[in-house]
Amino acid sequence: MKIVLLERINKLGQMGDIVDVRSGYARNFLLPFKKALRATKKILTF
């Protein structure tokens, strides 16, 4: 799953980076704790 990071995460990237992570990691940690957003076309246009 491609995501856009909203803050710096060790061993993953800096704020604003677009990274590819496993779906479970995104669903269970990054998205619920508001650390990332899904990289959709709408998000990427900003």
15-28 pLDDT per residue, tens? 999 999 999 999 99
Domain carrying residue 36: 2-44
* Mean pLDDT taken over the chain: 96
Is pTM beyond 0.95? Reply is: no
The total domain count for the chain is: 1
Mapped onto helix, strand or coil, the DSSP state of residue 44 is helix
Q: Which tokens belong to 30?
A: 């990054």
6 vs 43: which has the higher pLDDT: 6
The β-bridge partners of 13 are 9
Q: Is 4 left (phi over 0), alpha (psi -120 to 50) or beta?
A: beta
pLDDT for residue 28: 98
Mapped onto helix, strand or coil, the DSSP state of residue 9 is strand
45 vs 5: which has the higher pLDDT: 5
pLDDT value at 46 more than 90: no
pLDDT band at 38 (very low <50, low <70, confident <90, very high): very high
CATH (domain of 10): 3.40.5.10
